Amino acid sequence: MNEFTKNMCTFLEKSPTPYQAVAQMRVLLEKAGFEEIYEASPWKLVPGKKYYVTRNGSTLAAFTLPENGYCGFMIGASHTDSPSFKIKPHPEIEQEGMIKLNVEKYGSPLYAPWFDRPLSVAGRLMVQDENTIRDIPVMIDEDLCIIPHLAIHMEREANLNHEYNVQTELLPIIGPSGTKGYLKKRVAKEAGVDPDSIIGSDLFLYPRMAPSVWGPHKEFISAHKLDDLQCAYGSLLGFLKSSNDSSVPVYVSFDNEEVGSLTKQGADSSFLSDVLERISYACGKTPDEHKAALNNSFIVSTDNAHAAHPNYPEKSDPTNRPVIGKGIVLKYNANQKYTTDAISEAFFRKILKDCGLSSQVFVNRSDMRGGSTLGNLLNAHVPCPTIDIGLPQWAMHSCYETAGIKDTEDMVKAMNAFFSSTLKDNAHTFVLRNTTDRNGETK
């Protein structure tokens, strides 16, 4: 396994929830010289400096200011959350000599893969110290619970279109009777606090199986949360390698995409528009100049795409069939669930061509309903050309998904080139200036 793959596996393993994912992003940003700024304080920005800001501990934006002003923003967006199961308040249920945890689904997970595998708990705690309340990310790094299947002898038709009931069948067993209260004590120990000081929590189940790199030439990676941390990680590395003297590169990764994004930290919030406005005003632009900058801006929404499945070939579109390992996927939808159009397609294809990278296309079968992503929601707040792209994968929304190693490397190169580019809208004649060579390295 090469260094790039090892680092990606480490990032995935240490990011079981959005709170840990953002913490890992902060480590990478600060190592690269980025300074944290805060929404609750006025922004005093210095040209040539690098900054990042978070909201809710689960959404993050980072940007670099050019030395001599800018004409627009080059924005790469992804998301930090994945389908899972959230632990309810007062979660412990005692039944048949065992303690199980009361959970509810977060997003739309595939249920079956969560059974019969070691699970643990991660998220955040709210802790009170006298008159201060602080949040503490917490990740229990041990096998803690399991959701056991019912034996097939007790349900002979279990393999025939079984409909799972989350409230009764997907509750994890954490211990025998007599261990009630163990979860709170365990997360308190992990956080280094007294259990009685915990006054709130957002805790989720996560699978314990480590990422696996496999295939004859180690072509594939299987892991939890590839949707969408594979794109988030690849985009972030591309951002960190970029350089731009005419536009502001902006990296942003949102929470709550899997539940519709309509939260203060989701893509359908004011977060991105707030960040862009505060950059402009801190740099001395007027409101009118800020709106002009938005028209010289571009958004790349990065969220994984469905690869054609060898066991279910009939589920893919007849002519657009992405393959794992064959490059970045451009995503299209006539009803604007994906925002790719002629302008954004042409712009991004030129970037890929300049980098020497290939691309693929995903479109849903016309008789199947597809999912949604970030692009159309961001467009409602930041109106500029937008494209939806992703990396091809199998088993989306499983707790153990599969994708390609080379595709992640392509994402790094492509997003490096994108963040290093400038787009100018001259009366609807778009001028692109790219400052990267075919290897994706900044000139």
Structure confidence at residue 428 (pLDDT): 52
Whether pLDDT at 297 is above 70: yes
The answer, yes or no, to whether residue 351 has pLDDT greater than 80, is yes
Residue-wise pLDDT for 2-20, tens only, equals 899 999 999 999 999 999 9
How many domains does one find in the chain? 2
Same domain, 111 and 90: yes
**Phi-psi label, residue 127: left if phi above 0, alpha if psi -120 to 50, beta otherwise:** beta
Q: What is the mean pLDDT of residues 337-348?
A: 92
Distance of alpha carbon 396 from alpha carbon 223, whole angstroms = 11
At 300 the three-state DSSP class reads strand
308: Cβ–Cβ under 8 A, 6 or more apart, which residues?
316, 321, 322, 323
- Domain end: 207, 239, 270, which one? 207
DSSP 239-290: HHH---SSEEEEEEEES-GGGTS-STTSTTSSHHHHHHHHHHHHTT--HHHH
User: What is the Cα Rg of the chain in Å?
Assistant: 22
Mark which of 179, 207, 235 sits at the end of a domain: 207
Domain encompassing residue 102: 84-207
Q: Note whether 77 and 94 are same-domain residues.
A: no
Give yes or no: residues 406 and 382 share one domain. Answer: yes
Q: Give the separation between CA 399 and CA 109, rounded to whole angstroms.
A: 8
Q: What is the average pLDDT score of the chain?
A: 94
Is 17 found in the same domain as 41?
yes
Model confidence at 164: pLDDT above 60? yes
Q: Are residues 42 and 108 in the same domain?
A: no
Q: What is the pLDDT of residues 106-128, one digit of tens each?
A: 999 999 999 999 999 999 999 99
> How many other C-beta atoms can be found within 10 angstroms of the C-beta atom of residue 48?
11
What pLDDT is attached to residue 424?
77
Query: Are 257 and 176 in the same domain?
Result: no
| Judgement on whether residues 52 and 174 belong to the same structural domain of the protein | no
The per-residue pLDDT for range 184-201, each reduced to its tens digit, is 999 999 999 999 999 999
The span from the CA of 293 to the CA of 404, in Å, is 36
Three-state secondary-structure class, residue 36: strand
Rounded Cα distance, 280 and 284, in Å? 6
Q: Is residue 213 part of a domain?
A: no
The token duo for 223 is: 């892991």
Identify whether 81 is preceded by a cis peptide bond (ω within 30 of 0). Answer: no
Q: Is the Cα torsion angle 247, 253, 255, 259 positive or negative in sign?
A: positive
pLDDT band at 371 (very low <50, low <70, confident <90, very high): confident
What is the CATH number for 168?
Answer: 2.30.250.10
What's the confidence (pLDDT) of residue 116? 97
CA torsion sign, 186 to 191 to 193 to 199? negative
Nearest to 396 by CA among 279, 275, 305: 305
Same domain, 357 and 266: yes
- Using pLDDT thresholds of 50, 70 and 90, give the confidence band for residue 443: very low
254 & 399 share domain? yes
Q: Which tokens belong to 124?
A: 């955040």
Residue 139 to residue 137: CA distance in whole angstroms: 7
Query: What are the angstrom distances between the C-alpha of 287 and each of 117, 276, 284, 345, 436?
Result: 54, 11, 10, 29, 32
Burial classification of residue 320, based on how many CB atoms lie within 10 Å of its CB (0-12 exposed, 13-18 middle, 19 or more buried): middle
**In a shared domain, residues 201 and 181:** yes
DSSP state of 116: T
Confidence band (pLDDT; 50, 70, 90) for 61?
very high
**Do 170 and 246 reside in the same domain of the chain?**
no
**Residue 442 within a domain:** no
Residue 210: band (very low, low, confident or very high) from pLDDT cuts 50, 70, 90: very high
Q: How far is Cα 334 from Cα 301, in angstroms, rounded to an integer?
A: 17
